Each structure stands twice: as C-alpha cells, then as structure tokens.
C-alpha cells in the first residue's frame, strides 16, 4: 500500500469531507484498516473520542463569543496536533478568522487571529496513543499506521460534527482537520444546524 495509497484514499474522500459527509469518510477509512493484516494500530477501529459533546460545544461557543468581541468572525478552524509524533497529549486548537477563505486554496488558514486561540485535550484514544509511541517506526506496520492516522482524523471530524449540534453561539462554518492533513479538511456548515 504505502503512502501513495493513503494519498489516493484522501483524494477520493476529500470532496465528501468538504461536503460534511464525515461518517462516510470514517467508514471508508475503517474498512481500509480492517482489510489489512491485524497490527497494534487496528485498535483505532475500536476506540472512540470520549469528550463530552456538550462541554466541547460550550468551549466552542465561548471561544466564538469571546472572539466576536475582538473581530467579526466569518469562519472557525480546529486542528488536531501532530498526533503521530506527539503521543503524550492529543489535543485540538481552535482558530478564528475574519473571512471564510476559498476551499481550493487553504493558505488562508495560516492567517488566524493570533491573539485568539485555545486548545482542548482529546480523550478516549489513549491506547492508540501508546501504540503510536511504541510502534510508530515499525516498518511492518507502515500501512496500518498510515490508515489508522486517517481514521483518527475522521473520528476527530465526526466528534466535532456531533458536538456542533449542541453549539448555540457559533453560526459560521467550522473547518476540521489535523496537522499534516491540511489537504483533508471537513467543512461543517453551521447554517444547516437546526438550532440556528
């Protein structure tokens, strides 16, 4: 398989993620992982992010409301840290933008409001964090490593999608990805949420 196959899968799933079809992306990544011979990385298929949706939604709402005191926010972006090499703590950072950039060119994500960022620890995936810490360099597990990384990103995207249902203040699009997965970004259109 190798890294080329990972990029092929990401390319296939990119339009689905951008259209908010995150469950499909997660299912596809999980199927790819389960089709490989069993490795320690396969635990990714069994784990879920356990952060409370309400608490996470409240954190996003507070971030958004506080940010609106400084600028007119047109988009939010949240990104998991480089989890494959930073195994001691997995977290996401939140960023605010005064414009909603063009999805064909993600360079606008580099221009966040620097005075306004927060982060949130990701819970529930600790057994997988241990696998990444201990098995990351094992060549025999390379394919499972790559696909489990994609699965982590899709689980994170689905977690933010689920949390968004409980957000009351956020009324702008939320873009969701992970460090080094900046070409695989999910878009959550908050205008489509029933609470808006």
Q: How confident is the model at residue 137 (pLDDT cuts 50, 70, 90)?
A: low
Q: Is a pLDDT exceeding 60 seen at residue 195?
A: no
Cβ atoms within 10 Å of 145's Cβ, excluding its own? 22
Structural domain of 29 = 2-192
Of 53 and 193, more confident: 53
**Using one digit for the tens of pLDDT, what is the confidence trace for 43-54?**
999 999 999 999
Query: Which residue has tokens 């790819």?
Result: 32
Q: Is a pLDDT exceeding 90 seen at residue 58?
A: yes
> Which pLDDT score is estimated for 192?
65
pTM, to two decimals: 0.93
Range list of β-strands (E), 68-152: 75-80, 91-97, 117-121
**Residue 61, φ and ψ in degrees, nearest 5:** -60, -45
Number of residues that this document lists for the chain:
196
Cβ atoms of 124 and 148 within 8 Å: the answer is no
Q: How confident is the model at residue 115 (pLDDT cuts 50, 70, 90)?
A: low
Of 5 and 35, more confident: 35
> Which pLDDT score is estimated for 101?
83
Number of domains the chain contains = 1
Among 5-9, 58-62, 76-80, 111-115, the least confident range: 111-115
The CA–CA distances, whole Å, from 183 to 22, 35, 49 equal 15, 24, 22
Cβ atoms of 98 and 67 within 8 Å: the answer is no
> Which pLDDT score is estimated for 196?
44
Token duo for residue 150:
């994609």
**Residue 102, φ and ψ in degrees, nearest 5:** -85, 130
Q: Is a pLDDT exceeding 80 seen at residue 135?
A: no
Token duo for residue 68:
């609106």
Cβ atoms of 10 and 186 within 8 Å: the answer is no
Query: Which residue has tokens 């982590």?
Result: 152
């Amino acid at each position: 398989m190798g890294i080329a196959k990972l990029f092929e899968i990401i390319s296939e799933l990119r339009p689905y993620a951008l259209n908010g079809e995150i469950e499909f992306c997660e299912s596809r990544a999980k199927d790819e992982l389960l089709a490989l011979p069993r490795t320690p990385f396969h635990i990714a298929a069994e784990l879920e992010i356990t952060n409370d949706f309400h608490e996470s939604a409240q954190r996003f709402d507070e971030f958004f409301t506080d940010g609106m005191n400084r600028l007119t926010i047109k988009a939010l972006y949240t990104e998991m840290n480089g989890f494959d090499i930073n195994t001691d703590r997995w977290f996401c950072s939140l960023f605010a933008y005064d414009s909603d950039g063009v999805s064909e060119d993600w360079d606008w994500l580099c221009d966040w409001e620097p005075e306004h960022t927060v982060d949130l620890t990701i819970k529930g995936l600790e057994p997988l964090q241990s696998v990444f810490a201990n098995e990351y360099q094992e060549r025999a597990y390379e394919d499972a490593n790559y696909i489990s990384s994609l699965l982590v990103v899709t689980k994170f995207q689905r977690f933010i999608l689920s949390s968004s249902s409980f957000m009351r203040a956020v009324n702008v699009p939320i873009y969701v990805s992970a460090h080094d997965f900046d070409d695989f970004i999910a878009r959550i259109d908050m205008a489509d949420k029933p609470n808006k």
